[in-house]
Amino acid sequence: MANKTKTSITVDKSVRHIKAALYQEELSCDKVTGFHLKKTKAGGTWRLRYSDLAKKRKLITLGRFVDGTKDRLEAAELALSYRGKVEEGGDPASEAEKELQQRKIKHTENLNSTVGIYFNGIYTKHQSRKIDSGKHNLGAIKRHFSDWFDWPMTSVNKQHLKTWQLSMESKNLSHETIKRSFGALRTMLRHAVSEGILEADPTANFKLDPPRASEKAAKLDGSASKSRRMLTGEELAGINKGVELFNAECTDKLNKPNWNRPIPVWFYPFFRLAAYSGLRTGDLFSLNWDELNLSFKRLSKTPRKTQHHSDPIKVDLPLNDGITKVLKNWHGHMGQPTSGLVFPNMQTNTQMDKKTHNKHWKKVLKLGGVTTAIDFYSLRHHYCSKMVSKGVPLFTVARLAGHKSTKMIEQHYGHLSPNAGRDALALISGDFDTPMDTRKESINE
């Protein structure tokens, strides 16, 4: 270690400089050329200024000013060492920068060496800033790429992606599901590029193969749309009967003085609003009272699937008297809150799990004597299907269902409007009719 004679900067001089000097003012050493103490906003910094062999001026930081004792002596010792390297033709600043870069690279490699480490570390933290903490994106990667988690990040290539698609197809996953999961992985890899972990995105010039012939055939013959249909009259009657009986059971338990188990009284208004609005269950479970205006009978909700878009769609629904009455009764039961979840967990007051309704729905079907396999999402299918079949414009159906365009409605429900073309042609068919057309028709008759 250097003694105090190796620098003309004493403890007293350094302390006075830090206290009295102006911002960025320097206190130079008379013994070690270029060695100085610079006043900074946070205190001070020991530095060395020198010229390399090309006469280019260089500056290197030697340490932070602490109290002018040990830090001063260590900085002076380092300055002398670097001065010696300069005289021998070396360049301490370049060497220090190279060493720093190597340390950064090594640190990055240790932190993000595999797909799993990057996924569970930096990427999960990045997704946590998004709505729902990016659970859909992260969930897709975890479900369909967990076999890759032990691989080095740099090893992912196009052949892996081709093999992966074949593997997913062998598990009978739909092309849409495969496409969504691939999109989630691509998003993560592009983030890794932006973070400097990958030099290039291995998915940049890769395209998934088109759907299998059997999947295309299913779309053409209509088998892929069997679940996207209107409920039959018998099914509707059974569901309505079941939900009324289930609600009566809940009310009966609510009135029993000794009943101490949770009662799903929320399910009836939840069901009624789902059937009326066609909203997805996730949007119902996240619905807040400030999104419901019962006085003006309106519901305004931005679907969670579009919240991350730069221009998210907002579903704006008028509420009829029937559903308004149901919601007002529920509002009163909850103590007439002005904010918070409309359908919270009654024990924790937090958002319920997205599958909480399933067991109650099964009970409704059983009570109503419904034997066909109908899931709760069928209410949304019925909502869209009936509107399309009754001639409601596809754009209107799309907006009410929370879609930005008619593409999804056309793809999944367009088959329910077989007379749309005929009805459209009928609007203009008489515009250019002539007496001759009428006369010929009479003759043919």
Token pair belonging to 235: 């099914």
Token pair belonging to 308: 């991350």
How far, in Å, CA of 94 to CA of 103, rounded?
Answer: 14
The amino acid at residue 19 is K
Q: How far separated are the first and last CA of the chain, in Å rounded?
A: 118
Q: According to the model, what pLDDT value does residue 1 have?
A: 42
Tell which phi-psi region holds residue 352, choosing left (phi > 0), alpha (psi between -120 and 50) or beta: beta
Beta strands across the sheet bearing 292-293: 292-293, 298-301, 315-318
CATH topology of domain 233-387: hpI Integrase; Chain A (1.10.443)
Name beta bridge partners: 63: 46
Q: According to the model, what pLDDT value does residue 89 have?
A: 86
Name beta bridge partners: 61: 47
Structural domain spans, the chain:
4-108, 113-225, 233-387
396: CB partners within 8 A, 6+ apart? 387
Asked whether 303 and 408 are in contact (CB, 8 A), the reply is no
Over the chain (445 residues), what is each successive 10-residue block's mean pLDDT?
72 95 95 95 93 88 92 93 88 73 55 82 90 84 94 90 94 91 95 87 92 71 62 94 95 84 93 94 94 94 78 88 95 94 92 92 96 92 89 89 84 69 59 55 42
Nearest alpha carbon to residue 97 among 61, 52, 51, 50: 61
Q: According to the model, what pLDDT value does residue 445 have?
A: 42
Token pair belonging to 380: 């949304």
Asked whether 59 and 26 are in contact (CB, 8 A), the reply is no
The amino acid at residue 272 is R
8-to-50, 83, 254, 336, 439 alpha-carbon distances in Å: 18, 16, 87, 77, 119
CATH annotation of 113-225: 1.10.150.130
β-strand 298-301 against 315-318: which pairing, if any? Answer: antiparallel
Q: According to the model, what pLDDT value does residue 352 have?
A: 92
How far, in Å, CA of 88 to CA of 104, rounded?
Answer: 28
Chain centre distance of CA 257: 45
Q: According to the model, what pLDDT value does residue 212 have?
A: 83
CB hemisphere CA count around 270 (13 angstroms):
28
Q: According to the model, what pLDDT value does residue 392 have?
A: 87
Residue 13 per-residue DSSP state: H
Q: According to the model, what pLDDT value does residue 420 have?
A: 58
CATH superfamily for 4-108 is Integrase, DNA-binding domain (3.30.160.390)
Name beta bridge partners: 375: none
Q: According to the model, what pLDDT value does residue 361 have?
A: 97
How far, in Å, CA of 199 to CA of 154, rounded?
Answer: 9
Q: According to the model, what pLDDT value does residue 308 have?
A: 67
124-to-127, 135, 156, 181, 188 alpha-carbon distances in Å: 5, 9, 19, 16, 10
Q: Which helix (H) or strand (E) holds 59?
A: strand 57-64
